[in-house]
Amino acid sequence: MATNSGAACSSCRYFDDRALNGAAAQGDEGLCRFNPPVSQPEPQGHGLWPVVAGQDWCGHFTAAQHPAE
């Protein structure tokens, strides 16, 4: 299945590469902020945002909006 040109998590408005659920990002990983955090099975577990690679993509892709310079 082919992707649209430029449709990758790293260029999506919902991609957050600043932190990984409280840990430093490694490589091209980031968090997908489109959907709410996924709950964990433990009763005291915190919800976590899905970790995605920069080259991943999905059907929710929306190009990032960069401020005008």
pLDDT in tens, 36-67: 898 888 877 788 888 899 999 999 998 888 66
Q: How far apart are the first and last CA of the chain?
A: 36
Query: Given pLDDT bands bounded at 50, 70 and 90, which one contains residue 11?
Result: very high
Q: Where is pLDDT greater, at 19 or 56?
A: 56
Q: Would the pTM count as exceeding 0.85?
A: no
Residue 13 Cα distances to 4, 8, 33, 42, 46, angstroms: 16, 10, 9, 31, 24
Residue 8, pLDDT > 90, answer yes
Q: Which residues contact 9 (CB under 8 A, 6 or more apart)?
A: 15, 30, 32, 52, 53, 54, 55, 56, 57, 58, 61
Residue 13, pLDDT > 90, answer yes
